A and B are shown apart, each in its own frame.
Chain A
Amino acid sequence: MKRQLPFFLVFVFGAFMAIQYFVPHKTSEAIYEFFIDILPIIGVFALALGIWSLTKVSVDKIRYRRENWQYAIFTLLGLFLMILFGFTDENWGFHWRMSPEVAGEGTDNPNFRLLFNYVMIPIQATMFALLAFFIASASYRAFRARNLLATLLLIAALILMLRFTPFFGDWIGLRLSETATWLMNVPNTAAQRAIVMGVGLGLVATALKVVLGIERDYMGRG
């Protein structure tokens, strides 16, 4: 029973979600909305589990002085400071939710904004910007004209990168731009569609296997 009940629930809810797409009636819509309303609630409880997991792993690291335990202090500081500032106003008054009557509260808390604007934004922007450096080094290592197909790929990439270059004059510049647009609209779209169709069928087949209980490994069978 312990194993059968989850499979039964998966079948009922999975089948309902598939059929609901074809039933516009308000009854089906109401049940659908009920289900999607439950999701955030589950998410909130799971978030508590997540925070507990992160805290436990970090505290253990500090307590037992495991390798690089100092980083765990920053993890815990970041986690709890942001939560604290999110619930307090500028005078350290505690509020459960934001309201227009209280100034500098929640995400408007000056300390929250300070950490957001001067720590989070630059760190996140820097992390994403690293991508440019990695793309450069990866293309230097891997972008080789090994055979005909690889050469075509290389030429297409060069055209896309050169499409707004001013060094070749207007005529060549315009042709490069037009070719780049064609590459995006025709070969790129064709290839994307083919992969998307394969992925789409794979998604449906996997979802069907899950709903019918054929695919069970995700429940921890190993």
Chain B
Amino acid sequence: MQQKHFWRFVIGLALMTMATALGQSEADPPVSDTLAVADTAAISVPAPLPVTNLIARDKPNDRGYGISLSWDLSPDDTGGTQSVLGYRIMRSTTPDGPWDSINVAGSGDALYDHIGPRHEGDSGYFPDHTDMYYRVDVLTADPGVAVSSGVVGPVQSRGQWFNTARTVVFLFMIAFCGLVIWFVTHARRGKDLYVRPLAGIEAVDEAVGRATEMGKPILYLCGLGDAAEVPTIASFTILGRVAKRVAEYQTQIIVPCRDPIVMTVAQEVVKTAYSDAGRPDSYNPDSVFFLTIEQFAYVAGVNGIMLRDKPATNVYMGKFYAESLIFAETGTMAGSIQIAGTDEIPQIPFFFVACDYTLIGEELYAASAYLSREPVLLGSLKAQDYAKAAIIVFAILGFLATNVSALGGPEWLAGFVDLFQVRE
């Protein structure tokens, strides 16, 4: 029983609350709700020339309900009388009107995407596959002067089934998935694949042994990510391994969770691990529990467990943010052995300095393959290496193409770089 810690905590909480209350000024005045109205005055101006070459077409790579308009600016926009204030987009379902004002594009704008709402009944809704007509009126400072273009149409909107702007991503995805599947099937045929040892994972068995000798628990954190995030999924795999060892050594594991879904999955993983170890009766459902969704309240809760229960080993696997160093330093103070792994780049240095072993970035994902030693899982690591090699080759080619074309080389080289552009 640590009564003095408890009373310190109560007094600290009370002092902090009082100090903040005293430091706060009187109640903030409410924000009032009054409207400001600006004056406008009409100015007389000569009629500008209309826009020309107005084109309306279905907006490409969209869900539907979109028409793209383009036109040549009125000669009085950037030159001439420079009297153009903007362009009013008008739409109708017949060439003769009635016309609806859709929006106003600013002077100098020669493009406009008319994107309608998706739900029937919403203001401005127009269904796909319906004939529509457009015109553009040139606006001036005089509200009475507006010069219309010719009418274009009919044009129909429709949704597309493939976004051509993402073709390069699609091709890369197909190529990479193909590589993974090829290596996995290749591995199934019994080809041996080498993976360098991951010290952090090798250390797990030793850490569990140490906890057993000391008679202290192991603290395992799945990170702050939700259950659908890949680092959390990787963390579940490692948790399964740790829990199995814990069950075999008859020691204790504590898994405080920040996400209720993560808690549910973690309970299942630990339970299965105990069954696999042949000790289903030793499983304590309360060893995996929910603390809070609040980031720093969770940190406070976990740090409390570290300082009170003094776990022999702390394992941090998954998504971690600003709390990484607070966990790791508190763990060091409590004298625990610490093993960490995260793909959150800014947190890696923090874990690195304060933990005994750290899995860096993708090593966290490789851990499951490494743990199981199953060739099918190792195959995907090989595919990643080949994809990385491909990226390096393309990066070098892109670097050369950009620089050679900039130094007066052939034009198609610049086009080569554009092939990899994802345009939305």
Contacts and interface: CB of A to CB of B under 8 A. Distances in A.
Asked if chains A and B are in direct contact (CB within 8 A), the reply is yes
Interface string A177-221: 000000000000000100111110111111111101011011111
Contacts of B366: 202
Contact of B6 (A27, A68, A212): A68
A118 interface: yes
Interface stretch (A42-50, A87-95, A161-169): A42-50
A210 B173 contact: no
B368 interface: yes
Contacts of A198: 361-362, 384, 388
Given A215-B368, A217-B368, A195 B234 contact: no
A221 B386 CA distance: 30
B221 to A, nearest CB: 16
Given A49-B264, A118-B21, A201-B176, A126 B16 contact: yes
Interface in B275-302: 275-277, 286, 289-294, 296-297, 299-300
B227 to A, nearest CB: 8
Contact of A67 (B160, B292, B308): B308
A142 interface: yes
Interface in B248-266: 257, 259-261, 263-265
Given A201-B176, A201-B362, A222-B244, A217 B237 contact: yes
B63 A218 contact: no
A50 B263 contact: yes
A143 B353 CA distance: 8
Contacts of B162: 22-23
B244 A206 contact: no
B9 interface: yes
A198 B383 CA distance: 12
Contacts of A196: 345
Interface string A89-133: 000000000000000000000000000011101111011101100
Given A25-B64, A195-B345, A222-B244, A202 B384 contact: yes
B376 interface: yes
A141 B350 CA distance: 12
> Is chain B's binding surface mostly helix, strand, loop or mixed?
helix
B306 interface: no
Interface stretch (B147-155, B203-211, B322-330): B322-330
Contact of B233 (A46, A206, A214): A206
B177 interface: yes
Contacts of B269: 217-218, 220, 222
A29 B128 CA distance: 15
A138 B325 contact: yes
Contact of B286 (A26, A57, A135, A192): A57
B260 A50 contact: yes
B273 interface: yes
A160 to B, nearest CB: 13
Contact of A49 (B260, B325, B391): B260
Given A123-B16, A134-B326, A222-B273, A205 B384 contact: yes
A118 B17 contact: yes
B70 to A, nearest CB: 20
B118 interface: yes
A151 interface: no
A134 B118 CA distance: 52
Interface in B24-57: 24
A201 B233 contact: no
A42 B227 CA distance: 12
A136 to B, nearest CB: 10
A21 B268 CA distance: 32
Nearest to B354: A138
B276 A128 contact: no
A211 B24 CA distance: 53
A201 B387 contact: yes
A219 B391 CA distance: 33
Contacts of A126: 16
A145 interface: no
Contacts of A215: 233, 237, 368, 377
Contacts of A138: 325, 328-329, 350, 353-354
A198 B20 CA distance: 46
Interface of A: 18, 21-29, 42-43, 46-51, 53-54, 56-57, 60, 67-68, 70-71, 117-119, 121-124, 126-128, 130-131, 134-135, 137-139, 141-143, 192, 195-199, 201-210, 212, 214-215, 217-222
25 contacts: A23-B162, A24-B62, A25-B63, A26-B63, A49-B263, A50-B260, A54-B291, A57-B289, A68-B5, A117-B20, A119-B16, A131-B325, A139-B353, A142-B353, A198-B384, A199-B345, A202-B230, A205-B176, A205-B365, A205-B383, A208-B380, A212-B181, A215-B377, A217-B368, A218-B269
Given A23-B162, A195-B345, A214-B376, 19 more contacts: A24-B159, A28-B161, A49-B260, A50-B257, A54-B289, A117-B20, A127-B299, A138-B325, A142-B353, A201-B384, A201-B388, A202-B384, A205-B380, A205-B384, A206-B365, A217-B237, A217-B372, A218-B236, A222-B244
